[in-house]
Amino acid sequence: MSAELESAAGGSALAARYQDILSDEFISKIERLRLVSRKVIVGRIRGERLTRKRGRSVEFADYRQYVVGDDLRFLDWNLYARLDRLFLKLFLEEEDLHIYILVDASRSMAYGNPSKLDYARKVAAALAYIGLANYDRVVLGAFAGGDLRLVGPVRGKHQVLRVLEFLASLEPEGETRLAAAFKQFALTHRRPGVVIVVSDFLDKAGYEDALRYFLATRQDVFILHLLAAEELAPTLTGDLKLVDMEDEDTTEVTISAPLLRTYRRTVESFCTSLKNYAGSRGLNYLLASTAVEFDVLVLDYLRRRGLVR
């Protein structure tokens, strides 16, 4: 563990508890990464100030025509003098980057080996650490059964223990109710930033309504669709009574090659439709399997997709 984390944790014994979530070795690999938002211009000196007050930046961005009601202070009088028309100067706004990491903690996430929740924990911890290391404002949330539990915002590496404690405290419980959780999130967190949703999206009510809550914000939404390797390519055999881990619903199946083929097609179309839905609405989508080592996911996949740089 890095020196900062160690000091923040207040001792190696405490820090050692979270080694399985975030190891020293991995921290050294992600130390220099940072999270990137395409929608939000990150101030060069972001996080240098601790004040909440935000001024407007001096960096010119564009002009637009004046309409009644605009702040007269931003009129370009020079242009008015030359062209006899009123133009308003637009400046890029400088803001701190908010990073929201939402982890699905429903019972379905307990499936797989390693379980999807464990995997999601590690990914969330890594991303949060990247954010903290870059003085971004990191909000960590876990949703299960329609509830949303949040921690943060936190900023700075010394806060990493809070993040890890929160992640370690997650237990799979409740059903997946994306819509309720996302609605709650959207109502309370409207600041622009990067929203990373780590979930299996196995919501019987569908994900479409839920994802709509992100559309109205200026947030850069990143969907990490996490499925267990056993879900993508099941190794089940025999005559089975499949029991839903969330709602105890059962389905009787006799595993056969055609059924497995159909299942795989179904999974594929499920992922594709989620991807298409997200893509058409400006949401980023990445399908992740627990079969992929999570450091590969963070260091390679997410990098290529432009979430981290």
Partner 1 sequence: MSFLAPSALALLGLLPVIVLLYFLKLKRREEPISSTYLWRRAVEDLRANAPFQRLRRNLLLWLQLALLALAVVALARPASRVLRREGRRFICLIDTSASMAARDVRPNRLAEAKRQALELVANMAGEDRMMLMTFDVKPTILVPLTDDTARLRAAVNALEPRQTTTDFAAAVDLVAALGAQLRGAEVYLLSDGGFEADSLTETPDLPLRYIRIGQTGENLGITACEARRSLERPGETQVFVKVQNFGSLEADARLELYLHPLEPGSAGGLGPPQLLDARRVKVPAGDSVGVVFPYGTPESPTAPAPGLLRVVLAHEDDLAEDNTAWLVLEAPHKVRTLVVSPGNYFLETALRNDPLAAAQVVGPEEFDREVSSEALALGEFDLVIFDRHTPRSLPPGAYLFLGAVPPLEGFSFRGEVEQPVVVDWDQVHPLNRFVNYSHLFLERASLLEVPADAHTLVEGDSGPLLLYWSSPGYRVVVAAFDPLASRWPLRASFPVFLANAVRVLGGVESAGGAWSVRPGSTITFTVPPGTSQVTVTYPDGRSAQVPVRYELVTSGPGRPSEAPQGRSEGREAVGRSQEAPPGQVTFGDTYRCGPYLFTLGEKARRFFVVNLLEPRESDITPRPRLRWRRGTVAGRSQVVRENREFWPWFVLAALAVCLTEWYIYNRRVYL
- When binding is defined by CB under 8 A, the residue of 51, 53, 258, 280 that contacts partner 1 is 258
Query: Which of 65/254 has CB closer to partner 1?
Result: 254
Is the peptide bond preceding residue 234 cis, with omega within 30 degrees of 0? Answer: no
Site string for partner 1, 173-202 (x = CB under 8 A): ---x-----------------------x-x
Q: Is 231 in the site for partner 1 (CB under 8 A)?
A: yes
Q: Is 272 in the site for partner 1 (CB under 8 A)?
A: no
CA distance 236 to 17: 34
Min CB(113)–partner 1 separation in Å: 12
Min CB(17)–partner 1 separation in Å: 27
Query: Which of 206/282 has CB closer to partner 1?
Result: 206
CA distance 31 to 130: 7
Query: Which of 106/284 has CB closer to partner 1?
Result: 106
Where residue 201 falls (left for φ over 0; alpha for ψ -120 to 50; beta otherwise) is left
The torsion angles phi and psi of 65, rounded to 5 degrees, stand at -70, 145
Min CB(133)–partner 1 separation in Å: 33
How many residues touch partner 1 (CB under 8 A)?
A: 41
- When binding is defined by CB under 8 A, the residue of 123, 246, 297, 298 that contacts partner 1 is 246
Cβ–Cβ under 8 Å, residues 145 and 173: yes
CA distance 82 to 88: 14
Q: Is 244 in the site for partner 1 (CB under 8 A)?
A: yes
Using alpha carbons, select from 176, 179, 184, 186 the residue that is nearest to residue 208. 179
Cβ–Cβ under 8 Å, residues 203 and 143: no
Min CB(242)–partner 1 separation in Å: 5
Where residue 165 falls (left for φ over 0; alpha for ψ -120 to 50; beta otherwise) is alpha
- When binding is defined by CB under 8 A, the residue of 74, 270, 277, 301 that contacts partner 1 is 270
Q: Is 91 helix (H, G, I), strand (E, B) or coil?
A: strand
Where residue 293 falls (left for φ over 0; alpha for ψ -120 to 50; beta otherwise) is beta
Q: Is 169 helix (H, G, I), strand (E, B) or coil?
A: coil
Site string for partner 1, 55-74 (x = CB under 8 A): --------------------
Q: How many alpha carbons lie under 13 Å from residue 17 in its C-beta half-sphere?
A: 13
Binding part of the chain for partner 1, among 72-80, 179-187, 261-269, 278-286 by CB under 8 A, reads 261-269
- When binding is defined by CB under 8 A, the residue of 51, 65, 251, 280 that contacts partner 1 is 251
Q: Please state whether beta strands 137-144 and 147-154 pair in parallel, antiparallel, or not at all (unpaired).
A: antiparallel
Residues in 98-157 that interact with partner 1 by CB under 8 A: 108-112, 116
Cβ–Cβ under 8 Å, residues 131 and 302: no
Query: Which of 195/210 has CB closer to partner 1?
Result: 210
- When binding is defined by CB under 8 A, the residue of 7, 266, 272, 273 that contacts partner 1 is 266
Q: Which parts of this chain interact with partner 1 (CB under 8 A)? A: 108-112, 116, 176, 200, 202, 204, 228, 231, 236-246, 249-260, 262-263, 265-267, 270
